[in-house]
Amino acid sequence: MITQVPFLVTIYYSFREWNLLRPGEQRFVGFDNYANVLGSGVFLSSLWATVLIVGVSVAVAVVFGMALALLLDRRFIGQGLARTLLITPFLMMPAAAALVWKWALLDSNVGMVNWAFSLVGISPVAWNTDHPIVTIMIVLIWQYTPFMMLLLLAGLQSQPGDVLEAAAVDGAGPVRTFLYMTIPHLRQYVELAVLLGAILLLQVFDPVAIMTRGTGGTKTLSYLLYERAFVGLEIGEAAAYGVLSVIVTIIVAMVALRTLFKVFKTEGTR
Partner 1 sequence: MSSRLNTSRAAAWGTALFASALALTACSGAGGGAGDSSADSGTITELTLATVNNPQMVDMEQLKGEFEADHPDIKVNFIQMEENDLRDAVTKDIATQGGQYDILTIGAYEVRLWQQNDWIVNLSQWADDDAEYDIDDLFPPVRTSVSVDDDLYAAPFYGESSFLMYNRDIISEAGITVPERPTWQEVAAMAKQVDTDDHAGICLRGKPGWGEGIASLNTVVNTFGGSWFDMDWNAQVDQEGFRKALTFWSETIRDSGEADPVSYGFTECLNLFTQGKAAFWYDATSAAGSVEDPDLSEVAGNVGYVHAPVVETDESGWLWSWNLAIPKTSQKQEAAWEFIKWATGKDYASLVGNELGWSRVPPGARLSTYDIPEYQEAAGAFADITKETMLSVNPEHPGVNPQPYVGIQFITIPEWQDLGNSASQVFAEVYAGRKSVDDALAEVQELAQKAGDAQK
What string marks each residue from 222 to 241 as x (binds partner 1 by CB under 8 A) or -? -----x-xxxxxx-------
Residue by residue, DSSP assigns 221-268 as: HHHHHHIIIIIS-BHHHHHHHHHHHHHHHHHHHHHHHHHHHHHHHHHH
What string marks each residue from 108 to 137 as x (binds partner 1 by CB under 8 A) or -? xxx-------------x-xxxxx-x-----
Residue 123: is it exposed, middle or buried by C-beta count within 10 angstroms (0-12/13-18/19+)?
A: exposed
What string marks each residue from 17 to 56 as x (binds partner 1 by CB under 8 A) or -? --xxxxx---------------------------------
∠191-142-137 over CA atoms, to 5°?
85
Q: Taking a C-beta distance cutoff of 8 angstroms, is the pair 243, 256 a contact?
A: no
CB of residue 214 vs partner 1: minimum separation in angstroms?
6
165 binds partner 1 (CB under 8 A): no
CB of residue 119 vs partner 1: minimum separation in angstroms?
15
- Identity of residue 73: D
DSSP H helix total and E strand total for the chain = 14, 2
92 binds partner 1 (CB under 8 A): yes
CB-nearer residue toward partner 1: 158 or 173? 158
Count of residues in the chain: 270
> Interface residues for partner 1 in 248-267 (CB under 8 A)?
264, 267
Partners of 270 in beta bridges: none
10 binds partner 1 (CB under 8 A): no
Q: Hey, how many other C-beta atoms are within 10 angstroms of the C-beta on 232?
A: 14
Q: Taking a C-beta distance cutoff of 8 angstroms, is the pair 191, 264 a contact?
A: no
What string marks each residue from 188 to 207 as x (binds partner 1 by CB under 8 A) or -? xx--x---x---x-----x-
From 53-61, 77-85, 89-97, 246-254, give the range in contact with partner 1 by CB under 8 A: 89-97
Binding residues (CB under 8 A) for partner 1: these are 19-23, 90-95, 102, 107-110, 124, 126-130, 132, 147, 150-151, 154-155, 157-160, 185, 188-189, 192, 196, 200, 206, 211-216, 227, 229-234, 264, 267, 270
